[in-house]
Amino acid sequence: MPTRTPAAPAPKGRRRTAFARRVAPFAPVALPLLMSAVPASTHTAATTSVSVSDAPLPLPMKGHPVDWWFAFKFNAADFPGCSATKTCAFGGTVKSYPSSQQFVYATSEELALQMRTDCIGQTTADPLGATFDEIYNGSPHYVVWNDQFYGDPQISGCTVSCSAPWGHSKGAVAWNDSGRGLVLQVSTPSWPAAASAEHPRSSDGNTLGCVSDDDVQVSQHFFALALTKDDLVIVLRALENASVVTDPTNPQIVRNGGPPDVQELVMRLGKQSASTTPTKDTLSTGVVLISKPSHLNVPPWQMVSALLGGVPLRTATWWTHPAIPTTTASTPIACWSSSLGRPGPVEIALSGQWQGKSLGLKGGPGTNFNHAKVGVSTSGPARYAIFGDMNQQGALSGRCSSSQNGRGGLFYAIENDGLANAVAQLIQGDTALTQ
């Protein structure tokens, strides 16, 4: 496995956001720190004139940057609809299909989950809408990837979607001329599929609740993380390793620019990687980024457990056929690589809870199902909350390339007691049996 010098880990528990301290309130005192993030060879007048304030950043609401935020959108069975009038700020028309856009969210400043009944992704007053607005209605450089664009945009070699060995990954990354910006992980098919109002989708909408595919019927998750230029390089390499679906030649989903090494990495995206080696890096915020390559044919969340030192996990994903059962520390896993070390137990959450309601956390057709991919460590000295691209579908033995075993994806692990406890309570409930 490639190794890189990790950044100092983030302290556990509640803390004031470190990234916000570096950039807010965008005063001149922050500029020396911006300089320190740029290699000495690029300390030119053109680089130093870039204001930190033009970097797209995670925003729980417009004008309020944080290190990160996480949002879990409920399914239509438990918390249907939303309390606000729906709009289509990023294109499309309001749909009448079964939906929920109510959500809970946490930030690096407020670790406890807070509920919102308004419509996530609709305005600059909610985390997803505020953050995506910076990209769509701003002028940053960007890359959007999604294995389920459903033909808009069209990806060469794919039908309406892209199957294995393409990565099972969805999201966007955006940055300014100096390379500072954010990464946005989503679990929603067909959104986002355009990153600029100048290059909208031609045949579909680009706002949650305004897309032909009903990706707001089941539960979904969203995670936004601030990036330094060095972080951006790590994320782009991880995306390449995971074989994410994009097209560097299509301005609808890629606007290249910024530092030369960043531009070079962007041009390498949109190809199927031959890698069999995962990557694990600690970013400047202390968040651990793990990238699974498609040709490492192992169960995804067992891989995450092993790379985090064998921590026991509880996961909530789109869990359906071919389903990987709950595993214990002694469960035989033939589809494995000795280079990963040993995984800990991995529980499959079948249900969760919020405000006294039971949340359906299995995958399947209907309103009471889950397409988010979240996990927590259940014991041990390190308490992680983990947000991923991949479902617990595949095989422990037999055809090791089955389903998600044969696909790539990313995972963001935050070692933080408060956040881990909050996510653990959300997905606490029934557990799938071991095989």
Domain contains 13: no
Q: 28: domain range? A: 21-32+55-426
Within 13 Å and on the Cβ side, how many CA atoms surround 4?
A: 19
Residue 47 has pLDDT above 50, yes or no: no
Domain contains 433: no
Domain contains 200: yes
At 43 the three-state DSSP class reads: coil
Domain contains 300: yes
For residue 87, what are the CA distances in angstroms to 77, 91, 120, 244, 252?
22, 9, 11, 30, 22
Domain contains 46: no
CA–CA dist 23, 180 (Å, integer): 11
- pLDDT for 264 equals 98
Domain contains 9: no
Domain contains 168: yes
Residue located via tokens 């694990």: 280
At 131 the three-state DSSP class reads: helix
Beta-carbon contacts of 324 under 8 Å, excluding residues fewer than 6 positions away, are 299, 301, 348, 392, 393, 394, 395, 396
User: Would residue 10 be called left, alpha or beta, if left means φ above 0 and alpha means ψ between -120 and 50 degrees?
Assistant: beta
- What average pLDDT is seen over the chain? 90
Beta strands of 190-232 (E only): which ranges?
A: 220-227
Contact between 225 and 285 under an 8 Å Cβ cutoff? The reply is yes
- pLDDT for 27 equals 32
pTM listed for this prediction: 0.89
pLDDT band per the 50, 70, 90 thresholds, residue 56 = very high
For residue range 176-197, list pLDDT tens digits in order.
999 999 999 999 999 999 999 9
At 275, list the tokens: 């890698």
Domain contains 12: no
Number of domains in the chain: 1
For residue range 109-131, list pLDDT tens digits in order.
999 999 999 999 999 999 999 99
If you ran DSSP here, which 8-state letter would residue 53 be given? G
- pLDDT for 46 equals 29
Instruction: Compute the average pLDDT of residues 292-299.
Output: 98
Among residues 5, 24, 219, the alpha carbon closest in space to that of 104 is found at 219
Q: Order of strands across the sheet with 288-292?
A: 279-282, 288-292, 409-415, 384-388, 374-377, 313-316, 346-348
pLDDT band per the 50, 70, 90 thresholds, residue 53 = low
- pLDDT for 14 equals 39
Contact between 136 and 142 under an 8 Å Cβ cutoff? The reply is no
Count of CB atoms situated within 10 Å of the CB of 216: 29
